[in-house]
Structure 1
């Protein structure tokens, strides 16, 4: 297959998922090859990386489907919280190197350096956007990590709002071992997550293994569980608790926290002031305030 035909095939596949990005249909209509979506509780969706025989390695299809999935979840009023997990014995082994080699073959067929660079830039942008869709999703995302979580997967969990792990989990920012700098988020998110430039650089320069205990102590994860079953049970419990809160309040809180991370305190206060001048006029505020004041039944909030 010549370079033009190969490029058309890639663009057709990308266009398929670009159309999915625009869909406002229910999640039940979504069909994925590499991820599985379930609804374990009302308003709680579980997104499971589902290539267990490949240790959930990230191939091109999975990258595209992650982006499409989280855009769909953001648009779905039936979703208030997302749990992100991996099927089988691992969360994810990171980038699928065999799949990545097929991209390399496309580059070999193109002689001009500018055009090779443009092809690579487009592909990196697609992969970056996939993980950005996790952060941009207005619904809180909880990553529940079991087994290995390396390379691209390490980047991916940095986009989540909350990170938990089981004691068999381990982490590695692996990219330097395959001759590249991480380019899908970890080098940007991780310093803000753990707050130690020294540790971030050590992990990024060495690609060494990080134990779950170290991940807990440095703040990469906030809770550590003895086994995967407990991890999933407790994660679902937290997700359900969040799902019962006002979606107006929870989604506004996520937006405000992300804005505050990248702006001054004064800018952040102005941002939430502009949001709340509208949002506290919502029925959610009235219903929640009355329930708290009267110690009555927990309020039930409308879909958003």
Structure 2
């Protein structure tokens, strides 16, 4: 059984579903279609009693470059206007809450989720894998909580969920520097469970683990997830609410314009704290 969207492909084989990121932006960048379709796909899988485990991966050479900034200009532009008042800020807040809901749909899925990451996993890609249960990586995988380099406080899930995954010092190093780390480092700090030789081996390992999970009693598996998730739900929800309000107030800046311009012009940014 297969179901296709613009930004995702969903294939179901027996009790295992595979969700593959398709883009359409370069490097499976997350544009409007992704944010609209991700919760629809995961809520449908969650409601399917035949699906007992979900594998999440990326098409092509990379998992995801993260937010498709080129496709998101219409959302940011009103906020960046000089003296933007309550109207555009409230609209941005609503839009941001919708994006947060998209990632939360993955975290709230009662069906266990396993990410198989290869190539780049940047920004929104890290938001996404922070919402799954188990993470595997190929040896060529690279990770970056890169929002700080664009003068953005990561606001879709990384800063809410990574504190439950990583040591505090490791998380702060990633978030405050925006540095890139390789798969070996990601494994060492606990961002991923295991590293495999290549994308094919990583996906095979994820599917093998999915099969192991699917062989267990499904209601008991859901119960384990429910009990584990109960310990974090309120903390994550509070963090997401706070960062949505924070960015709606403080995101617009000259540094944000500079960070985005520098990225597209492929030059070092010159931040001035304005």
Q: Give TM-score, length-normalised by structure 1.
A: 0.73
- Cα displacement string for residues 47-97 of structure 1 (whole angstroms, at most 9, x for unaligned residues): 000026610000011111111111111111121100000000000000001
Alignment partner of 2:6 out of 33, 41, 48 = 33
- Cα displacement string for residues 180-207 of structure 1 (whole angstroms, at most 9, x for unaligned residues): 100011111111101x211111110110
User: What value does the CA root-mean-square deviation take over the aligned residues?
Assistant: 1.9
Cα distance between partner residues in 2 of 1:260 and 1:112: 39
Task: Please list, as runs of the form range in 1=range in 2, the aligned pairs for 1:93-242 lying within 5 A after superposition.
Answer: 93-107=65-79, 113-194=85-166, 196-242=167-213
SS across alignment from 1:184: coil
Of structures 1 and 2, the larger Rg is shown by 1
Cα distance between partner residues in 2 of 1:50 and 1:204: 27
Q: What is the CA-CA distance between 1:107 and the residue it aligns to?
A: 4.6
Cα distance between partner residues in 2 of 1:262 and 1:66: 20
Alignment partner of 2:230 out of 259, 269, 283 = 259
With over 3 angstroms needed to count, the CA separation of the structure-2 counterparts of 1:53 and 1:116, relative to structure 1, is: closer
Cα distance between partner residues in 1 of 2:83 and 2:36: 27
Partner of 2:239: none
Considering Cα pairs closer than 8 Å and 6+ residues apart, tell me whether 1 or 2 has the greater RCO. 2
Q: Give TM-score, length-normalised by structure 2.
A: 0.81
With over 3 angstroms needed to count, the CA separation of the structure-2 counterparts of 1:36 and 1:262, relative to structure 1, is: closer
| Number of positions where the alignment pairs a residue of Structure 1 with one of Structure 2 | 234
Partner of 1:54: 26
With over 3 angstroms needed to count, the CA separation of the structure-2 counterparts of 1:53 and 1:104, relative to structure 1, is: closer
Contact 1:167 1:227 in 2 (8 A): yes
SS across alignment from 1:138: coil
Cα distance between partner residues in 1 of 2:116 and 2:216: 21
Q: What is the CA-CA distance between 1:177 and the residue it aligns to?
A: 1.0
- Cα displacement string for residues 255-294 of structure 1 (whole angstroms, at most 9, x for unaligned residues): 111113468xxxxxxxxxxxxxxxxxxxxxxxxxxxxxxx
Cα distance between partner residues in 2 of 1:260 and 1:121: 27
Partner of 1:89: 61
